[in-house]
Amino acid sequence: MADATAHYPSPWRDAGLVTGSLIVISFFAIAILAHWISPHDPLEQDLISNLLPPFWVDQHDPAFLLGTDSLGRDLLSRVIHGARIALTVAVLAAGFAAVLGTVMGLIAGFYGGWIDSFISRLVDIWMSFPAVLLSIVLVAVLGTGLHSVVIAIGIIDWTRFCRVIRAETKVQREQDYVAAGRALGLTGPAIILKEILPNLLPVLMTLFCLEMGIAVVVEAILSFVGLSLSSDAPTWGGLIEEGRQYVHEAWWVMLIPMLCILTLVIALNACGEGIRRVYDPVMHK
Amino acid sequence: MSLKQFLQRLLLALPTLFGVSLVVFFLMRVVPGDPIAMMTPPGATEADVAQLRALYGLDKPIITQYVIWLGALFQGDLGTSISLRQDVFSLILERMPATLELAFLSTMIAIALCLILSLAGAYFRDRIIPRAVDAIASTAQAVPDFLWGLIFILLLGVAWPLFPISGRINPRLDHDLVSQFYLFESLIKLDFSLALELLRHLLLPAIALALPMTGIVTRLLKVSLEETWKQDYITMARARGFSRWYILRKEALRNALIPTVTLGGVQLTFLLGGTVLIEKLFSYPGIGNMAIGAVIQRDLPLIQGLILTFAVMFIVINLLIDLSYSWLNPRMRHG
Amino acid sequence: MNILNLISRSMGALLVLICISLPTQAADDDTLTIAYNVNLPSWDPTVGLSAVNPTIQSIYKSVFDQYIDQNPDLSFKPGLLTDWSWSDDKTSISMTLRENAFWHDGTPVTVEDVMWSLERAGNPDTGNPIQFIWGKVGEMTADGNTITAQMAGYDPSLFPWMAFLTGYILPKNYFEKVGAEGFEKAPMGSGPYMLDAFERDGFVRLKRFDQYWGDAPAFETVIFKFVTDASSRVAEIESGSSDITIEVPYEQFDRLAAVDGINGVSTPVSDIGMIFLNDIEVMEDANVRKAAAHAINKPVIVDRLLRGYGVPIDTLQAPEYMAYDDSIKVAYDPELASELLAKSGYSKDNPAKFKIQTTRGFKPKDYEMVQAIVGMWRKIGIEAEIEVYEIAKHYELRASDTLAPAAFYNWGNSIGDPSTSTGFAMFGPSPHSTWDTEDVDGMIGPLWGEADEAKRIDGYKKVDAYIAENAYVIPLLQYVQPILHREGISVTPHVANFVLPQLVTKQ
């Protein structure tokens, strides 16, 4: 792998990738440091001082930069902690989908034969379901909560990984080094893990970034229909839904989380495509 | 594609369909909680519950239930909706045309927008227009359809109320349409004022649905057009003095179309799936709206029927995409 | 490529056309359009789930007649029955049918129809959810327009139920002719409006019925447009597409009521928000229950969260109900609450923990209220975890008595009788109760068949006082129904939470 990297152009020269990763990294930083940088506890309520305006309106309270929501909670702190939830869902759900999809894809692509047909058929079946409806049904069935959202997204979106990984594995399997590995007496799983998987990492990373973006949006959709995390967790989707009720008096309550989602999703897409541009040899022929 | 190939494709879809039915059925049966108990109104007695259970066949072993369900399915019997107390199959049949019309119009809008944007992006060589096209496409793709819907409702329904934002037809209108395909029927009957009225209701949800697909397909189409632009035979055509516009439309577009249709097919299924939220948002009486209601009411037979309906539509779309390859690529057709 | 060209061009032309043909909404003086918050799932008002859904009764009450009707202030008035009474020995009832009532096909409403409707409602096979009441009606005989029915036992709530859920009279001959399926397709009643067009999940259009026995309604045509999304309903009234809408967020109500051309009416309705407590886990500790009750600042919830649209209550009776007693109070007292918790060894560092279930978006601000309450509890040493469920799930859990230690719910009681509030909600053997202890059951039990009305009401007041003292349930507030309508019409609000087109007049 170390040798192979030398042939790739430097990732630092890809503007999209650099900007995208900087944005994503700063979101991660905000998420990790949420506890220290948010000015208030996102759950701390004060009904008496609810619906305070943000800093650009005259009668604002300097303690609440973006104002407060209907329960008197600090909006800025909720948006910051919302990043934490969005990224947790994104990483876990994309991770779950990636592990499930990659394992299935590797098995199908490497072994071929009946197991390949079986997995391919499974993918076909899965792709025949409307994703939004299925995720709504799944969360309705599993009950609300972080685990349900993660499971629902993973169970639905593993096919995205499986299809690509399967195709790539089929290509890799025919390469010389795999034959060499066989000649050296390596077993199937060993070849998959040691030889094939490392070569698929760029593709996997691309898919992972894109899937994180999808997970952020799906979480917002689920919150929007009232089926996401329970309790008073500050999710961006929940904030949008909440802000919708006050959109005429306090449009920023809806707009700020919407912009957060958009920025994060666009940045994740830019990362994914940047990785593809830099590491995918096909694009550079 | 020969008839034999076509039949092969058709046969391949059958096991998928079978698998879909299996998943739908068992997914609904492993739900924690008791679907019947959720359906029973306050005041129901134990006997009522048992009676309902027997009525929906829920008192039998699960495999038997599946066989019964599948057998009924083959006769077009999807059971009886618990919340609407009517035959699921006829309920879906009644509402499907509304969704099909919405999806159709939305697809047409997406195709039109894709063509305009990508051709403009590939035709102009200045720095502004191609970048603008990229920016528009990225935004259109990144914003999920339900957020587009919300934005439209706020902007064009409330702030500047140009369009009706709920329903399918003005309830004050009397009409004598016999089918549920209101738009198509009114067009065939040349009743343009009615068709326009229907279109005004359809436009916002259709565009909201079309935008994400437009974004993703435009980006691919533009890249493909630029790629083909560099191909040898295009260079030859240019050398022979054909105008840039002519070559783009007649040669490059045809070549770029095959990968676009592949992606478009997948996107089309997403578009159809998107009707679920969009119909809910615009109170549009299609099967998507019905599906959300069914989930909220835990109406198992209806949810099953609706998911199955969507799945069948998806499979049909994929089949059509397969078929369209041979139509788009003459070499495949002759070969 | 010609097809693609065609698509592009026709889409372009289409956009131009649509834009030219912009706003065509003509204000039609004789049509009333109501943007309604729920769909109408089914037309038979006596069977199935929708029959007990209070929200769609407005549509049913426009098309069908009840045995007995209610004034907007909940007092009873004649419906299809002009007279109704128990015999002196409380073993039979007598009912008199009005003479000038007609079905929508012009045939008269007869005693046959009434007896058939009652029999059908009492027959368990038809699936009437209130069969446990109707089943008590025994053999009926008719003499002219008066029906006498033998009763299985005295039940003071029988006549109130005739004005409540499933208390509708349907046409016997027509129903038998077309069957249940046919009735769904072409329902027929004797109410002020008859069905003109119905598009499932779209709208219902009704036409005035000229032979209606009561006052002729003001509008020739009424449209109930099903707009289930609250923001879309706001847009409906704001853009002028609808004349009336209901159940909009209170912020929007305040904003729009101040807009020129739109008026707002708000009235307290017979719907209360409450927290069911279950006799499990920490709730068996009286100190925890009482602390939970005293820690909730109901006035501030109503003021700040509901913007004043609500009436704090301390018993399950709203002020309009028969057994309301304003002397029963549960004060907001966080110090007392902390002390009570301390007695059982709980504090902020060692909080009492339990789960609270709630619906979300089923009622205005339901979820927000529970969040606010959990916030108030957190301050005194109660750590409650919120679980969101659908209303259908609530019914299931309540029927099997497996609700969490605390569960938020909205109890509707449009007949205002204590038996259908405290009675059903707190009596152990009732399928609707959550708190089941013998002390309360012993107090409520004798009241079910109490023939002396004054004694019965007084009995319930005593039960309510006892329940409040022991914090067996936490009543929160009475809801206020926000109605927005365009200028030029006037809407009479109904305490039972109905929006009846027959109560809308032109100005």
A261 Cα to chain B: minimum distance (Å)? 9
User: What pairing do the DSSP bridges indicate for beta strands C193-199 and C68-70?
Assistant: unpaired
C204: its two tokens: 């219902």
Please give the Cα distance from C99 to C118 (Å, whole number).
19
Amino acid at A180: A
Amino acid at C382: I
User: Torsion over CA of A177, A182, A184 and A190, rounded to 10 degrees?
Assistant: 90
Please give the Cα distance from B172 to C223 (Å, whole number).
8
Q: Is the dihedral of CA A6, A12, A16, A20 positive or negative?
A: positive
Q: Kindly state whether B314 is in contact with chain A, defined as any CB-CB distance less than 8 angstroms.
A: yes
Is B30 a residue whose pLDDT tops 70?
A: no
What is the rounded average pLDDT of the residues A9-30?
A: 86
Mean pLDDT of all residues in chain B? 80
Contacts of C90 by beta carbon, 8 Å cutoff, 6+ apart: C151, C154, C451
- Cβ contact A47–C304 (<8 Å): yes
Fold (topology level) of A65-284: MetI-like fold (1.10.3720)
| pLDDT for C263 | 92
- Cβ contact C372–A48 (<8 Å): no
The band of B138, judged by pLDDT with boundaries at 50, 70 and 90, is confident
A30 Cα to chain C: minimum distance (Å)? 25
Residue with tokens 């349930």: C473
A212 Cα to chain C: minimum distance (Å)? 26
* C372 lies in some domain: yes
The 3-class secondary structure across C5-70, one letter per residue, is HHHHHHHHHHHHHHHHCCCCCCCCCCEEEEEECCCCCCCCCCCCHHHHCHHHHHHHHHHCEECEEE
Chain A, nearest residue to B34 by Cα:
A141
Please give the Cα distance from B180 to B286 (Å, whole number).
11
C360 Cα to chain A: minimum distance (Å)? 7
**The last residue of a domain, from among C124, C159, C180:** C180
Residues 88-127 of A with CB under 8 A from C: none
Residue with tokens 């037809």: B169
Contacts of B106 by beta carbon, 8 Å cutoff, 6+ apart: B205, B206, B207, B209, B210, B213, B271
Of residues C400 and C463, which shows the higher confidence score?
A: C463
B64: its two tokens: 């038997």
Give per-residue pLDDT as tens, C211-227.
Answer: 999 999 999 999 999 88
φ/ψ region of C37 (left if φ > 0, alpha if ψ in -120 to 50, else beta) reads: alpha
- Cβ contact A269–B15 (<8 Å): no
For chain C, percent of residues with pLDDT exceeding 90:
43
Of residues C390 and C130, which shows the higher confidence score?
A: C130
**The last residue of a domain, from among C128, C146, C180:** C180
* B232 lies in some domain: yes
Q: Is the dihedral of CA B64, B69, B74, B80 positive or negative?
A: positive
Give per-residue pLDDT as tens, A151-200.
Answer: 999 988 999 899 899 988 888 888 777 777 777 777 778 888 877 888 88
* C501 lies in some domain: no
Chain A, nearest residue to B288 by Cα:
A133
Are residues B150 and B68 part of one domain?
no
Is A3 a residue whose pLDDT tops 50?
A: no
* C-beta atoms surrounding C148 within 10 Å: 14
C444: its two tokens: 């409520």
* B7 lies in some domain: no
Is C261 a residue whose pLDDT tops 60?
A: yes
Please give the Cα distance from C47 to C127 (Å, whole number).
5
Count how many Cα atoms sit within 13 Å of the Cα of residue C271 in the half-sphere of its side chain: 24
| Structural domain containing residue B35 | 17-74
How many domains would you assign to chain C? 2
| pLDDT for A269 | 86
Give per-residue pLDDT as tens, C274-293.
Answer: 999 998 888 888 899 999 99
The band of B330, judged by pLDDT with boundaries at 50, 70 and 90, is low
Q: Kindly state whether C205 is in contact with chain B, defined as any CB-CB distance less than 8 angstroms.
A: yes
* C300 lies in some domain: yes
- Cβ contact C124–B40 (<8 Å): no
Are residues C277 and C416 part of one domain?
yes
**Most confident option among A131-135, C32-36, C267-271, C326-330:** C32-36
Q: Name the nearest CA neighbour of B280 among B122, B157, B91, B146.
A: B146
| pLDDT for A283 | 44
Is B34 a residue whose pLDDT tops 60?
A: no
| pLDDT for A9 | 66
| Domain ranges across chain A | 65-284
Are residues B42 and B118 part of one domain?
no
Q: Kindly state whether A266 is in contact with chain B, defined as any CB-CB distance less than 8 angstroms.
A: yes
Are residues C274 and C176 part of one domain?
no
For chain A, percent of residues with pLDDT exceeding 70:
92
| pLDDT for B40 | 55
Q: Which of C33, C49, C413 to mutate to test the interface with B (most CBs of B within 10 A)?
A: C49
Of residues A233 and C420, which shows the higher confidence score?
A: C420
- Cβ contact B43–C14 (<8 Å): no
**The last residue of a domain, from among C180, C207, C222:** C180
What is the rounded average pLDDT of the residues C237-244?
A: 87
The band of C207, judged by pLDDT with boundaries at 50, 70 and 90, is very high
Please give the Cα distance from C15 to C19 (Å, whole number).
6
Pair C78, C98: CB distance under 8 Å? yes
Within 8 A of B280 by CB-CB distance, chain C residues are: 228-229
Give per-residue pLDDT as tens, C402-449.
Answer: 888 999 988 888 888 888 888 888 888 777 788 888 888 888 888 887
Pair C321, C459: CB distance under 8 Å? no
| pLDDT for C363 | 76
Is B223 a residue whose pLDDT tops 70?
A: yes
* B268 lies in some domain: yes
CATH number, domain with residue C72: 3.90.76.10
Please give the Cα distance from B329 to B3 (Å, whole number).
17
* C128 lies in some domain: yes
* Strands in C144-220 per DSSP E: 146-151, 168-169, 193-199, 203-208
Are residues B56 and B189 part of one domain?
no
Q: What is the DSSP string of C408-468?
A: EEEEE-TT--GGGTHHHHH-TTSTT-S---HHHHHHHGGGTT---HHHHHHHHHHHHHHHH
Q: Name the nearest CA neighbour of A78 among A238, A212, A214, A246.
A: A238
* C433 lies in some domain: yes
| pLDDT for C27 | 54
What is the rounded average pLDDT of the residues C19-23?
A: 59
Is B91 a residue whose pLDDT tops 80?
A: yes
B244: its two tokens: 């840039």
Helix axes B287-296 and B88-123, enclosed angle (nearest 10): 120
| pLDDT for B260 | 81
Are residues C304 and C161 part of one domain?
no
Of residues B170 and B270, which shows the higher confidence score?
A: B270
Q: Which of B9, B143, B220 to mutate to test the interface with A (most CBs of A within 10 A)?
A: B143
DSSP A231: T
Give per-residue pLDDT as tens, C439-483.
Answer: 888 888 888 878 788 888 888 999 999 999 889 999 999 999 889
Of residues B134 and C174, which shows the higher confidence score?
A: C174
Please give the Cα distance from B81 to B84 (Å, whole number).
5
CATH number, domain with residue B226: 1.10.3720.10
B187 Cα to chain A: minimum distance (Å)? 30
* C217 lies in some domain: no
The band of B335, judged by pLDDT with boundaries at 50, 70 and 90, is very low
Give per-residue pLDDT as tens, B302-323.
Answer: 888 899 899 888 888 888 887 7
- Cβ contact B157–C239 (<8 Å): yes
Residues 143-162 of A with CB under 8 A from C: 143-144
Are residues B246 and B121 part of one domain?
yes
Bridge partners (DSSP) listed for residue C148: C94, C141
Are residues B157 and B260 part of one domain?
yes
Count how many Cα atoms sit within 13 Å of the Cα of residue C300 in the half-sphere of its side chain: 19
B56 Cα to chain A: minimum distance (Å)? 19
Q: Name the nearest CA neighbour of C234 among C221, C246, C226.
A: C246
* C203 lies in some domain: no
| pLDDT for B48 | 66
What is the rounded average pLDDT of the residues B17-42?
A: 68
Q: How many residues does chain B have?
A: 335
Are residues C277 and C174 part of one domain?
no
| Structural domain containing residue C58 | 49-180
Is A18 a residue whose pLDDT tops 50?
A: yes
Are residues B55 and B121 part of one domain?
no
Of residues B262 and C502, which shows the higher confidence score?
A: C502
How many domains would you assign to chain B? 2
Q: Is the dihedral of CA C120, C125, C128, C129 positive or negative?
A: positive
Is A116 a residue whose pLDDT tops 80?
A: yes
Of residues A94 and B24, which shows the higher confidence score?
A: A94
Q: Which of A15-29, B269-283, B285-299 has the lowest mean pLDDT?
A: B285-299
- Residues in C lying within 8 Å of A, measured between beta carbons: 230-231, 249, 251-252, 255, 297, 300-301, 304-305, 360-361, 365, 368, 371-372, 374-376, 378, 385-388, 390
CATH number, domain with residue C333: 3.10.105.10
* B79 lies in some domain: no
Within 8 A of A131 by CB-CB distance, chain B residues are: 270, 273
